[in-house]
Amino acid sequence: MSGRQRIDGQIAWVLHSYPYSETSLIIDVFSRDHGRLPLMARGARRPRSALRGVLQAFQPIELAWFGAGEVRTLAKAEWVGGMPLLGGAALMLGYYVNELLLKLLPREDAHPALFDAYAASLQALSRGEAHESRLRLFEKTLLKELGYGLALERDAASGEPVLAGRHYQYLIERGPVEASSLPDAPEGAPVRSIRGKTLLDLAQDDYSDAQTLVESKALMRRLINHHLAGQPLQSRRVFIELQEL
């Protein structure tokens, strides 16, 4: 059984950690070849433990672990480096990205493409590069890898190509439908329509248009909320509360 093997040399990121007993830590890690899994880091909370600095979130590390069962045992953790630590506003975005993975990514499902997108996003965040477009790119990859890929370039009702100059409503689990072809929403707030250009920009990962950024943020938020199925995002709540102070 592969679960009993010792796994060596896995590049991974700590998503979150939880104190366990007096001196240990359970880390929820995202590894390239084994996906997300919890590991028991024995003694990691001892005052002089060399693991203290290594098992921080937002930095790539190289891990070895062994054991069977739900929680494997961490055998080794080494600092890999290559990027500055996240600081300032990028930290909160890092928490948001980690929380998305913790809440949406099933355990022990390998997603190398998502792993690479995550690593690229954190690298970019640590260098202070275009935060918003980075997040959209990550969210898009996440949804695609989870099997909820976006349909952006075809009208889900007519099958016609989406046109930059038209307006659409994005129907969850279907795709964009030209706004004028939909009957008026019976009661309650209709979903805001989205420009065809935004959909096409999003398909090409082109976020140079300010309106594209605004509309794609709203669209991604709707889709992610849908897949969270009512689970609140703590990082979002904390961020909002900080803005209100």
Partner 1 sequence: MSSSAGSSGGAIGRSLGSSLGRSLGTLDKLIEALRCLPGVGPKSAQRMAYHLLQRERLAAAQLADALSEALQRIVHCQRCNTFTEAEICDRCASGKRDPSLLCVVEMPVDLNMMEQTHAYMGLYYVLMGRLSPLDGIGPKELRLDRLIERATDGVVREVIMATNFTNEGEATAHYLSELLHARGLKVSRIARGLPVGGELEFTDAGTIAQAMFERRDY
Residues that bind partner 1 (CB under 8 A): 16, 19-23, 50, 53-54, 56-59, 79, 81, 84-89, 91-92, 94-95, 98-99, 102, 234-235, 237-239, 241-242, 245
Judged by CB, which is closer to partner 1: 12, or 57?
Answer: 57
Q: How far is the CB of 62 from partner 1 (least distance, A)?
A: 12
Judged by CB, which is closer to partner 1: 84, or 112?
Answer: 84
Q: How far is the CB of 202 from partner 1 (least distance, A)?
A: 27
Q: How far is the CB of 128 from partner 1 (least distance, A)?
A: 12
Q: Comparing C-alpha atoms, which of 174, 98, 207 is closest to residue 142?
A: 98
Judged by CB, which is closer to partner 1: 37, or 202?
Answer: 37
CA angle 239, 52, 73 (to 5 degrees): 100
177 contacts 205 by C-beta, under 8 angstroms: no
Give the C-alpha separation, 86 to 93, whole Å: 10
Judged by CB, which is closer to partner 1: 101, or 143?
Answer: 101
Q: How far is the CB of 67 from partner 1 (least distance, A)?
A: 19
Q: How far is the CB of 32 from partner 1 (least distance, A)?
A: 20
User: Mind giving me the DSSP string for 149-201?
Assistant: ----SB-TTT-PBP-TTSEEEEETTTEEEEGGGSPPPSSSPPPPPEEHHHHHH
Judged by CB, which is closer to partner 1: 83, or 203?
Answer: 83
Work out the burial of residue 58: count CB atoms within 10 Å of its CB; fewer than 13 is exposed, 13-18 middle, 19 or more buried: buried
Which two three-digit tokens encode residue 69?
Answer: 């069962």
